[in-house]
Structure 1
Amino acid sequence: MTSFSINTNATAMAALRTLSLTQSALSHTQRQVETGLKVAEPKDNPASFTIAQAMRGDISAMDAIEEGLTFGQATVSMANAGALQISNIVIDINQKVTQAFNDGLDVTVLQEEVDALLAQITAVVGSSVFNGVNLIDGVSADLDVLTGLGGVTQTIAAQDLRLATLGLVGLDLTNPATALAAVDAAEVIIGDVITTLGTAANRLDSQAEFTQLLTDKLKEGLGILVDANLAEASAELQALQTKEQLGIQSLSIANSRPQSILQLFQ
């Protein structure tokens, strides 16, 4: 038998509980739609949120690694450009030295041209700088490039393309045979430097591609872990909004029931 009481309205309390649960779910779903995240804060899913934060930390670290690799690539690229330019200059010097073997040519003029080319080599070495780092001046230290998590680095060995190292200081065309031997030896040194820098550049390029791949995979994994399915959330939002309206109506009906007791006293 249904009892009537104005002090305790069990039906209204049940309707209120149901409405509160619906509104809580509605708020959660609405937040998913607004943020695009199903795990936006620890209370949504503590375990997933903790994992997601660790992944975000790794992604930030990978961004720093990419910046380091970009700097390394630019520095090595500058050194490569300088080494290639010096190689071309030495080829021109080789031509002048070879011409010195010809009788009838003014060696003095050829010597002036060679001296100008040697000065150009010095200028190229001094200007092959990126952000204060020069890998071919024989003075700067080796370059350590950050390539992995945990401080993993790749060392790019500094090179020396100064005239003294190349054996071209005071190159004298009055003895073309000796001068040509010096130029040939310099070309070998330059070739070794170009090979070393080219290999380093390839390694950095490969590492940069791999780092980008790792970053993309981390971001994909993070998305799977925390991103909301907006199509599903949108459908659920509409359903909960309808459920909320019905809950409000149900609570209104339950609240009006005690008033029916007044009819018993008429």
Structure 2
Amino acid sequence: GAGAIFSLDSTGTKIVLNAQADVEFQNAASQAALGFTSSSTTASTYTAGGVTASTVVSSDLSISGVTQRASLAQQYNNLLNQITQLAGDASYNGVNLIAGKGNDMNIKFNDTGSSNLNVASVDATASGLGLSAITNSNSSTSQTGLGNFLLNADVNKTLATLTSAGNSLNSAASTLGSNLSVVQNRQDFSKQIINVLQTGSANLTNADLNQEAANSQALSTRQSMGISALSLANSAQQGVLQLLR
């Protein structure tokens, strides 16, 4: 019915045709002015008020902007491939934290592993972000010929998907940034511990041998004097006992 082919816009001043409408024009000049191309399809002839007029038929979906939108859709698909490839190449030492879930990285902060941090991986590929390639079919009706960004509804749906993907990336970046901050703090702490241990080791191994020899001799002398003092005390006690007898 006519209602399914065209309708009035919100202002009531324009006719809105759907993508399946068979558009015919009064003459070739009108067709060109509206941005449609010619077609080999046989035109219709109408008679109204005793006047007969032949129309000009447009080829299917060959209006200005369709080719450009199809080109943009192809560029969009190429960018999706680049996103997936970049995520796949972002690996280090065999670990990739953004090419898919299940490839977590566990960081140990001590020799026993009792202190550690588990960094969860995310899926930043195109499919993981919910981004799908643009096809030649409408995303809602799957009808061939209505895709390739032809309909504004498809463009708006893709924009909403991109917004959601951007939010997911921001959330993942925030989480990874927080984990990085923890690792950097533990790295600084470990460096300080290393400095303390190195200082203690240097105090033990880099001593002045002459000074330590003198300290050892002094300790030996103190021990000898202590033993002599105890011996004299015992001798004095023995003398007192003999006098008492």
Instruction: Answer 1 or 2: which has greater strand percent.
Output: 2
Higher helix proportion: 1
- Higher RCO structure, 1 or 2 (CA under 8 Å, sep 6+): 1
Q: Which is greater in Rg?
A: 2
TM-score (normalizing by structure 1): 0.46
The two structures have a TM-score, normalised by structure 2, of 0.49
